[in-house]
Amino acid sequence: MGAQKYQPMREGQTRFLRGEAFGRAGKVRQVTAASEKSNPITITLMEEVVRRENLTAALKRVRANKGSPGVDGMTVGELGGYLREQWSRIREELLRGDYQPQPVKEVSIPKPGGGLRQLGIPTVLDRFIQQALLQVLTPIFDPTFSSFSYGFRPGRNAHQAVKQAKEYIAGGYEWVVDIDLEKFFDRVNHDILMGRLAKRIEDKRILRLIRRYLQAGIMVHGVVQERWEGTPQGGPLSPLLSNLLLDELDKELERRGHRFCRYADDGNVYVKTRRAGERVFESIERFLWKRLGLRVNRDKSAVAHYPERSFLGFSFTRVRELKIRFSANSLRRMKGQVKAITRRSRGVSFGQVIEGLNTFLRGWIGYYRLVETHTVIRDLDSWIRRRLRCFMVKRWINSCHTRYKKLVAMGVNTKDALAMAGSRRGPWALSNAKPLKVAMPNRFFAKQGLLSLLHQYETVR
């Protein structure tokens, strides 16, 4: 890099040296006019964190993310007023390195594959400070991460990871080393993580604050439990810290010349033979334990041919050409959600059911728009309409007379309506009968406002 032009500074003026600071060492230094004379370097990354523009952006992001209150009960809507009154004090604590985060609140949410995932929800104030930290740390660390790491990074997403995986498989790397880390977020070693941070960050206040966030207790049933390992999911900093730790694995895989994709703690390595996959699996398992203190969950990890494994909710199939498809678990979860929305016992109207389906299906197909198996989408579209016909039949189930009248009013001839009204078959069987399809064809659901899954799929692609 060429020499930068020197500009003399007035007393008290500051200047951030970004060329060498960010480009080579990833450290931010601030030089004052007084210090330039005596050459000492003052590390001022925390001053970047509390800079007004950075804080404004952090507050905007926290408000947009919403989220539930932490242990103090403060809501996102109350944060602005609190900051107006207390920010001067908090800012001074941050600059002195004295700020103490509050404990996180334990929250359990269901995992897609079953079981519960434990989250640690920081207070909205701590989420705000973490977000401000994240915005300053990301430009330092993210450019150094592997190009095959896709999770929780600017400009990167799960779809890019799936497309990269498809390229590997199409290139003949058809065996997958599927690595599942055992309770990764609960097992992060604080000393190893802080050691990696300290290699790039010299501001001791930043390092001290991050360690305090890592060690902030978790409140369970009103009692604060200490934590000496793990980085709780739920705070803005957790994804960056997890990427920072696992970047060492990425670099090792790159050094060995492996083809891999990683999204947060979900990673696959692609090889040409089972034997090669087994060797890679054993070596990665040793590396993770010896270097990062992380264990591989052998029950969920495997070396397998690509159609047998899923990645981020997708899988792959090949008939004449390689295609992206839904994983079996993705389809099962999707159908389970549709069944929950169309369950008659919810006590909602048909219009409310349609509205709930539309909201769910928009987001669902938006994520799964990469799928290339058109017939599966078409069959799902038909199955959803059948679920809605079943919903309607259940509403008429206690009265044959009501069922008969409804069917005739919907255009079914009297003979078929009478047969349907007196049928002893259950609602699900009746929902596929021809008279009910006549009563409620595709255009019927369109008039009710139901969005066609197939049409949405074709639109987003």
Give the DSSP H or E segment for 219: strand 218-220
Asked if 271 and 280 count as a contact pair (C-beta separation under 8 A), the reply is: yes
pLDDT average, residue stretch 50-79: 94
Distance CA 409, CA 390 (A): 18
User: Would you say residue 26 has pLDDT above 50?
Assistant: no
Asked if 403 and 421 count as a contact pair (C-beta separation under 8 A), the reply is: yes
pLDDT band of residue 461 (cuts 50, 70, 90) is confident
Q: What percent of the chain is predicted at pLDDT more than 70?
A: 86
Q: What is the per-residue pLDDT for 393?
A: 85
93-106: per-residue pLDDT in tens?
Answer: 999 999 999 998 88
User: Would you say residue 35 has pLDDT above 60?
Assistant: no
Q: What is the per-residue pLDDT for 223?
A: 60
Residue with the bigger pLDDT between 235 and 145: it is 145
Distance CA 387, CA 346 (A): 14
pLDDT band of residue 206 (cuts 50, 70, 90) is very high
Nearest to 174 by CA among 314, 305, 302, 310: 305
- Give the pair of three-digit tokens for residue 205: 């206040």
Q: What percent of the chain is predicted at pLDDT more than 90?
A: 64
Mean pLDDT of the chain: 85
Q: What is the per-residue pLDDT for 414?
A: 86
Q: What is the per-residue pLDDT for 220?
A: 65
- Give the pair of three-digit tokens for residue 317: 């199939």
Distance CA 436, CA 444 (A): 11
pLDDT band of residue 234 (cuts 50, 70, 90) is confident
Q: Are strands 218-220 and 104-110 parallel, antiparallel or unpaired?
A: parallel
Residue with the bigger pLDDT between 236 and 40: it is 236
Instruction: Name all contacts of 362-366 with Cβ < 8 Å and 24+ positions apart.
Output: 362/451, 362/456, 364/334, 364/337, 365/453, 365/456, 365/457, 365/460, 366/460
257-272: per-residue pLDDT in tens?
Answer: 999 999 998 999 999 9
Residue with the bigger pLDDT between 429 and 396: it is 429
Using CA atoms, how far residue 395 sits from 3, 5, 316, 419, 424, in Å, is 79, 79, 40, 18, 15
Nearest to 150 by CA among 161, 162, 164: 161
Q: What is the pTM of this model?
A: 0.83
Q: What is the per-residue pLDDT for 380?
A: 96
